[in-house]
Amino acid sequence: MDDLVRALIDTDDRSSSPLRSALFGTTDPESIARTLGDLVAESLAPVAAVEFLRFGVGLVLGATLEDARAVVVKVHRLNVTPDRLAAVQRVQQRLADEGLPAPRPLVEPLRLESGIVTVEELLPGETVEGRRPSARDAIAAGLAAVIEVASRIDPIPAVGPGSLTPSVDDPLWGEPHDLRFDFEATSDGAEWIDELADEARHELARAVLPEVIAHLDWRVENLGFAGHEITAIYDWDSVGFAPEAAAVGHAAAQFSTDWRIGYATLPSIAEMRSFVRDYERHRGTPFDPPERAVLDAANLLLCAYGARCQHSDRTLFPELSGPPASGWERLLLERQLHSLR
């Protein structure tokens, strides 16, 4: 328990306070540690050591248990349902059965008062530099394999839609993925970002393509490696339905990113194009013009969303935003001039 309390204290900062309160009804490290520790002990075994602990979309805890198992515990906000997370677990289990490096779920989704908990095995994997051509090719091949194997699951798990094809009848930006972002309070100066995002979602709305099950946060930070081989896939609550071309356009915008390092890991336009070519080679066929239009729009929309998040940080948490005209904002400015079609 002391190890867990220390980890919570070490990760305590003002940007994570809203999430702590939303998940646990408190920001007190000892209270949060007690809630987490009791839940894991009752479901599996007591926590012996904390391997890592992070706050982002939710809380992610890597731990070694007293029975020597290595696990990942994730506490999700109530903007997802147990049924959706259970469907995602069925995808994980099937991919693992097919030999892909998907961690097997260890318990069904568990309800907390203010969140939902999932627990899965912790697969080992090393970090690589995602912009290296060999890593880029492996990342593209991995996404193609996930989509191909998931397409054979019958019956199709109800994982729900991704956020890649937002309706033009809804507000432009739904709830941000991280509670630290506030798009309404930081709208001044972001008009150019919103205009580009709106253009992209109208392009997506015009397309009619079949949807597949895909991992929609497919990037190097969510993968573990041994040499050039992917040995672990993380962040499974990002699984959802989307057109294959949209999933690839989305991944092309972020495949190399590792937010533990920062904006320097974002890909260039040329690297995005290379990622798409790598994916097409592993897919076995190139995307046709309608698919290319969807791929390009999804890519532009993801770049706009990233820029919108960065703009929010610049206002609310300037220490997190990077220098002006850097990161997502720089990339979006370049995307205005260069298409991926």
pLDDT value at position 178? Answer: 86
Share of the chain above pLDDT 70, in %: 98
- The two tokens of residue 272 are 């995005």
pLDDT value at position 323? Answer: 72
Q: Quick check: 321 pLDDT over 80?
A: no
Residue pair 103/72 in contact by the 8 Å Cβ criterion: yes
pLDDT value at position 81? Answer: 93
| Mean pLDDT value across residues 65-72 | 97
Per-residue pLDDT band at 17 (split at 50, 70, 90) = confident
Packing angle of the helix pair 29-43, 17-24 (nearest 10 deg) = 50
Per-residue pLDDT band at 1 (split at 50, 70, 90) = low
Q: Which of 203, 149, 190 is nearest to 309 (CA)?
A: 190
Prior bond of 155 cis (ω within 30°):
yes
Between the alpha carbon of residue 95 and those of residues 98, 118, 144, 149, the distances in Å are: 5, 17, 13, 7
Q: Quick check: 163 pLDDT over 80?
A: no
pLDDT value at position 324? Answer: 65
Which domains does the chain possess? 2-121 (3.30.200.20), 133-335 (3.90.1200.10)
pLDDT digits (tens, 9 = 90+) for 74-123: 999 988 999 999 999 999 999 999 999 999 999 999 998 889 999 999 99
Q: Quick check: 317 pLDDT over 90?
A: no
pLDDT value at position 296? Answer: 97
pLDDT digits (tens, 9 = 90+) for 222-270: 999 999 899 999 999 999 999 999 999 999 999 999 998 989 999 999 9
Per-residue pLDDT band at 13 (split at 50, 70, 90) = confident
pLDDT value at position 164? Answer: 67
- The two tokens of residue 83 are 């049924």
pLDDT value at position 11? Answer: 86
For residues 130 and 256, give the distance between their C-alpha atoms in angstroms, rounded to a whole number. Answer: 4
pLDDT digits (tens, 9 = 90+) for 283-308: 999 999 999 999 999 999 999 999 99
- The two tokens of residue 16 are 């994570």
pLDDT digits (tens, 9 = 90+) for 19-66: 899 999 999 999 999 999 999 999 999 999 999 999 988 999 999 999
pLDDT value at position 265? Answer: 95
Residue pair 239/88 in contact by the 8 Å Cβ criterion: yes
Q: Quick check: 320 pLDDT over 90?
A: no
pLDDT value at position 236? Answer: 95
